[in-house]
Amino acid sequence: MELCHCAISTQKTVVQSISLFARHQHHVVFLEGDAGLEYMFKFGYTIVLVTVAIMIWASLARAREIDTQSHPPCAFNPLCSCSKSAPDLGIVNCRDVLFPAVPKIINSSKLFMLTMDRTGLRELEPYFLQSTGLYRLEITNNPLTELPDEAFYGLERTLWELVLEHNQLVDIPSRTIRDLRKLRLLSLRDNDIATVAPDSFRGVESTLQTLVLADNSITQLAANTLAGLPNLETLDLSGNGLIQLDAAVFRDGLGKLTKLLLADNLLQYVPYEAVSILSRLRTLDLSRNRLQDLSLDDDEQQGSSMGGGNFRLTLDSLNLSYNELEMLPAASFTQFDTANVTLLDGNPLSMIEDNAFRSAKIRELYVRHCDLDHVQPEAFSGLENYLQVLDLSGNNLTDVADNLFRGFDNLRYLNVKDNLLRHSDQRNASPFARLNLHRLEAVGQRNQPVSLADLGSMRNLRSLTISNLPSTNLGPDDFANFSPELEELRLNRASLKVIKAHAFAHVRGLKRLDLSENRIDSIEPDAFTDVGHSLVSLRASHGLGSQLVGFPIEAFRKLTALEALDLSNNRLKAVGDTAFHLLRNLVSLELHDNQIDTLAKGTFQADIHTKLMMISLSYNNIKQLFTH
């Protein structure tokens, strides 16, 4: 749709320009003679050329985002969709339609894109696509084992993207693609390819930008196998059986490579030497391998082309998730100068020792769902000036050293939910109270209760998620020292029973409130008075106690800005006919899984609830709806 809009807009510009020229042509001739007329002709011609260039660029830039599912049925088979009628079919999409061979009408038509997915295609005839002018060809999920050398004859200067995924190809179709001088993307994902020859991409080496060889059976890559691809930016080798990478596999020819995906292989060491020459590498994915540590392998330690391991990687993203890392000793990140976003999720980590990250610059660090039960006091030393996001959720941490985050003035988001945190002093003071956080998540049934008052020192806190409060009552004193900048508050599994009057008087800018998974039996009439103008979302799913069976009309009347209300999975039995009349901005209302038996006439009115789009009342006891 965006492509069409762009084309229509540019056409309007041309029409307006020509119209403007036509309206003023007579006056130009009269005032300036032939010179003025010639100038206007040149100006109009330039406008047309620029407009055509913009339209071509837009069509190429947005090609991948075209919605191929919304096109009408094709004349040659109504189970396929075509964006145009013959002889120019435009975008053709055939999915789950039996076509052992490409339909003959295809070669007599002009196409922009052709998709053949799950069609039972077993072969491509030579020269069959020569008249189509295809830009993108996608043949996927078919029993295709090989391609003839002349399969893409005639597409040498038009085919930019070739997707041959989830087929049964046993070799890279090198001779078939050799003359595709415009090819930018080649995807051979999920085939039966076992080897990659050094000349596999001869002929397309100067144009190829994205190469996908993921989910094949490639177990090794010889030296210089992937060299000589000077414009390659993305290389996906994930899902193969690679045990190691030859130090010279990328040598001399991948000067523009920025993304290297090696996930789901059998690598036991980080291939430092192989990637050391990739000067523009910014994304390295080594997740789901067999890495046991981040040290150099034996050959690299003896000193090779890295000069004794002096080369250091500079990355935007480093993914080490789901490997076999059991401990991060000191200086684990020596080979990394920068790893802005580092993921260590799902490793069997039990300890992070002091100075593990000392030599690296890391802004976001994720250590989620590991077996981490201890973090040394200086584990994150060296990251004080860089670390902004730290996620330690889903571990077995029992305590946090007092000086663990000393000097971390740039830390803005900390997540320690679902741990075993306990606090040593009797005041239950939070170990995070001295941080200058914007967002804190400490929810979890196993975390020890934390007093809200102890978190008031975080003056810039904007989002707070916490559970196991020491008191069952929520009142204004709990937020006495909080900053008015708090916008999101989630008090889940907090054992709350009472929401007192003016409970949120000190956090008047609150926009989103989640009180789910509590047992609230009482909400005083003025509980939400101070946030009525700001609160746009209120959730209390599984949040109301057994004593609160009637909709608390008086408390909710003040929520005039509310857009989303979720009171599902409670024991509500009665909803007054005027319960929602003051909630004029309500967009969605969830009341499902309650015990409501009737809705009075006039509960929802079109002239009041002009924005209401969704009401969920399923799984109640309603037997009849009364309407006007």
**DSSP-derived secondary structure for 259-285:** EEE--SS--SS--HHHHTT-TT--EEE
The more confident residue out of 304 and 164 is 164
* Least confident window among 57-71, 222-236, 315-329, 550-564: 57-71
pLDDT, one tens digit per residue, over 427-471 is 445 667 778 899 999 888 777 777 788 788 888 899 999 988 889
d(CA 150, CA 176): 6
Backbone φ and ψ of 308, nearest 5° = 75, 20
CATH superfamily ID and name for 449-627? Ribonuclease Inhibitor (3.80.10.10)
Report which of residues 67 and 202 the model is more confident about.
Answer: 202
Q: What is the CATH number of domain 291-296+311-423+430-448?
A: 3.80.10.10
In which element (H, E) is residue 341 found?
strand 336-343
Helices (H) and strands (E) in the chain, counts: 5, 29
Residues of the chain with CATH 3.80.10.10: 69-192, 291-296+311-423+430-448, 449-627
Report residue 36's pLDDT band, with 50, 70 and 90 as the boundaries. Answer: low
pLDDT digits (tens, 9 = 90+) for 466-507: 988 889 999 999 999 888 889 999 999 999 999 999 999 999
Query: Residue 547: is its pLDDT beyond 60?
Result: yes
Model confidence at 8, pLDDT cuts 50, 70, 90, reads: very low
Q: What is the pLDDT of residue 542?
A: 96
Instruction: Give the model's pLDDT for residue 5.
Output: 40
User: b/e per residue, 112-143, with b = 16+ CB within 10 A?
Assistant: bbbbbbebebebbeeebbbbbbbbbbbbbbbe
Pairing of strands 234-236, 210-212: parallel
Q: Is there a contact between 146 and 164 (Cβ–Cβ < 8 Å)?
A: no
In the block, tokens 């300036």 appear at 32
- Give backbone dihedrals phi and psi of 11, rounded to 5 degrees, phi first: -65, -40
The confidence score (pLDDT) of residue 421 equals 83
Kindly write down the DSSP assignment for every residue of 316-333, as one continuous string: EEEE--SS---EE-TTTT
Q: What is the pLDDT confidence band of residue 38, given thresholds at 50, 70 and 90?
A: low
At residue 15 the predicted structure's pLDDT band, cuts being 50, 70 and 90, is: very low
Strands of 45-122 (E only): list them.
81-82, 88-95, 110-117
* DSSP codes, 221-264: --TTTT-S-TT--EEE-TTS------TTTTTTT-TT--EEE--S
Q: Residue 453 carries which DSSP code?
A: G
Task: Tell me the pLDDT band of 63, cut-offs 50, 70 and 90.
Answer: very low
**Alpha carbon distance 360, 332 (integer Å):** 9
Q: What is the pLDDT of residue 23?
A: 39
CATH 3.80.10.10 fits 69-192, yes or no: yes
Give the pLDDT confidence score for residue 621 in this predicted structure.
Answer: 93
Query: What pLDDT shows up at residue 450?
Result: 78
The label of the residue with tokens 């909630």 reads 583
The chain-wide mean pLDDT, for the chain, equals 87
Q: The pTM is what?
A: 0.83
Answer whether residue 64 shows pLDDT above 50. Answer: no
DSSP 604: S
Pairing, β 537-539 against β 512-514: parallel
| pLDDT score of 9 | 40
At residue 510, the pLDDT reads 96
pLDDT confidence tier of residue 185, bands split at 50, 70 and 90: very high
Across-strand partners of 439?
413, 463
Q: Which helix (H) or strand (E) holds 7?
A: helix 2-61
Which structure tokens are listed for 401? 């050293």
pLDDT of residue 545: 94
The pLDDT of residue 401 is: 81
Q: For the residues 538-554, what does the mean pLDDT come to?
A: 94
Nearest to 457 by CA among 470, 440, 475, 444: 440
N- to C-terminal Cα separation, the chain: 40
pLDDT at 14: 33
> What does DSSP assign to residue 448?
P
Asked if pLDDT for residue 66 goes beyond 90, the answer is: no
Instruction: Render pLDDT for 18-32 as a digit per residue (tens, 0 to 9).
Output: 333 333 333 333 334
What percent of the chain has a predicted confidence (pLDDT) above 90? 67
DSSP 198-209: TTTTTTTTTT--
Q: Does residue 424 carry a pLDDT above 80?
A: no
Chain position carrying tokens 């929401």: 499
- Report the pLDDT averaged over residues 496-519: 96
- Strand boundaries in 361-479, DSSP class E: 364-366, 374-375, 389-391, 413-415, 439-442, 463-466, 473-474
The pLDDT tens digits for 222-258 are: 888 888 899 999 999 999 999 999 989 988 768 899 9
- Among 297, 223, 227, 216, smallest CA distance to 264 is for 216
**Which residues touch 92 (CB under 8 Å, ≥6 apart)?**
74, 80, 81, 82, 83, 106, 111, 113, 114, 115
Q: What is the DSSP letter of 599?
A: B
- Between 528 and 46, residue with greater pLDDT: 528
Dihedral of the alpha carbons of 57, 59, 63, 65, in degrees to the nearest 10:
100
